[in-house]
Amino acid sequence: MEMNVERWIEDLVAGCPGMHVARSDTGKFTSGAVSPRTVANMESRRPDDVADGRFVVGKKIMYPKRSYAEWLAKKFYKTVQKVV
C-alpha cells in the first residue's frame, strides 16, 4: 500500500489519544520516525518555525496533535516517504 502525506497525518492523529501531544512523546507519536531531540534542535535553530498552538505545561512542551502532525509532515515526510 502506498503511503501519502494526508494518510500519514491521519494515522498519526488517529493513533494518539487525547487532544495534545508532548514533544517528549514525539518518538511514540511517529512510531520512532522522528526523535523529540531532533524537534527540539530544529525549534532552537528556528524559533519562529514551530507547530501552531505550541504551549507549555510545567516543563513539558505541548502541541495540538493535528497541528503537530501537519508540521512534522511538512518537515519530515519526504524522508519518511523514501523509507516506506
Q: pLDDT band at 8, cuts 50/70/90? A: confident
Query: Residue 63 is placed in which grid cell?
Result: 502541541
Alpha-carbon distance of 14 to 11, in angstroms, equals: 5
Q: Give pTM, 2 decimals.
A: 0.83
How far apart, in Å, do the first and last CA atoms of the chain sit?
A: 9
**Domain housing 35:** 5-83
DSSP 8-class letter at 24:
G
Q: Do 25 and 18 touch, CB atoms closer than 8 A? A: no
CATH number for position 47: 1.10.10
Of 24-28, 31-35, 63-67, 75-79, where does mean pLDDT reach its minimum?
A: 75-79
Count of domains observed in the chain: 1
Give pLDDT, residue 77: 77
Give SS3 for 23.
helix
Q: Do 67 and 21 touch, CB atoms closer than 8 A? A: no
Entry field: residues in the chain: 84
**pLDDT, tens digit, 9 for 90 and up, residues 9-39:** 999 999 989 999 999 999 999 999 899 999 9
